[in-house]
Amino acid sequence: MYYNWKDKTNTEELKIVCNLIKNGELVIFPTETVYGIGANALDPVAVGKIFMAKGRPSDNPLIVHLADRRKINDYVEDITEMEQRLIDAFMPGPFTLILKRKPIIPDIVTGGLDTVGIRIPENVIAKGIITFSGVPIAAPSANVSGKPSGTNIEDIRKELEGKVSAIVDGGKTSIGLESTVVKVIDEVPVILRPGGVTPEDLERVAGRVKIDRNVFCPLDEEQIIESPGMKYRHYAPNTKCKLIYSNNEEAQIFLMKKIIKEYKGDVVVVGFEEHKERIIVSRGRYISIGSKDNLEEVAQNIFSALRKADQIRANVILIEGMERYGIGVAIMNRLLRTCEYDYIEIIE
């Protein structure tokens, strides 16, 4: 079933969607970050359907979505002072906190870990579905595992229709990247996956903040996955991708042009609006991700741009990188995984 709630939530349809969740079915719904594919987090059979629908490895933990902060203590325990400070500052919002779980959360949700990621979305549709379902909802991004996440229904409907019982269309998501995932270690917040809550945002609340080394490099095979997006191939089109970045704009453009020549023009460029007239490729093969001076816009557009680029079936997709600052940290994290670390960087 498909429900269009772009303009307004339909109360009768909301009842149907919530009953599907309560009865162990899967529903695709919007959040402020990306679309999620959700099931009752307390029902192991229902959660198992998420892994099957996405083709997701079973050791890749899911995030549990709640309606409000008052519910957190129903599912986790031993919240520290720093954890509570982060909850108060960033929930609801594009923020996930890894906490010690209670036994009520099934092993399948956490990949067998004794921790669970908790998030409270601020999207009105998501909050309504969680509230009226009356259960916590386990929900990874709505896409086939490894592919770019869905920021609008048009991008993901074809690959997931028939694998879920309902699709709720709330229009384009406002942030476009998955939530920031944080684990507090020795009272210091450690970013396991960057997102809409930036390192600078966290520093203003917590003071000292660390970024996990695996945010910008591959996870070792033997390492435990504590957050989605850490280990497996993620956010990637079928077409081979290369990521190019220099802190010198002219050097970055020069390098892009050089690689285009090496591939004899059989490329698609995913780049900034300002560079469209300077990086010359065949008609329709330059896909703008927005202004280099507006990384929030870039974040909104990046996954859709990668899907669009993939449809052209070129030899390679060349992607312009950006400074690792603010939400640029999260964008570069996604793009490095998109390119499977095929990355050229020139710092002058």
Strands, E assignment, 89-172: 95-101, 115-119, 137-138, 166-169
What pLDDT is recorded for position 280? 87
**Average per-residue pLDDT in the chain?**
94
pLDDT at 260: 95
Q: Domain 2-215: which topology?
A: DHBP synthase (3.90.870)
Residue 221 has pLDDT above 70, yes or no: no
Can you name the residues that pair with 116 across neighbouring β-strands?
99
- Span 278-310, pLDDT tens digits: 998 988 899 999 999 999 999 999 999 999 999
pLDDT of residue 92: 97
Kindly tell me the burial class for residue 121, based on how many C-beta atoms sit within 10 Å of its own C-beta (0-12, 13-18, 19 or more): buried
**Cβ neighbours around 47 below 10 Å, total:** 25
What pLDDT sits at residue 217?
A: 85
pLDDT at 223: 63
- Residue 146 has a pLDDT of 81
Q: What is the pLDDT of residues 35-64, one digit of tens each?
A: 999 999 999 999 999 999 998 888 889 999
Q: CB of 307 within 8 A of CB of 150?
A: no
pLDDT digits (tens, 9 = 90+) for 64-92: 999 999 999 999 999 999 999 999 999 99
The domain defined by 241-346 carries CATH number 3.40.50.11030: yes
What is the domain partition of the chain in residue ranges?
A: 2-215, 241-346
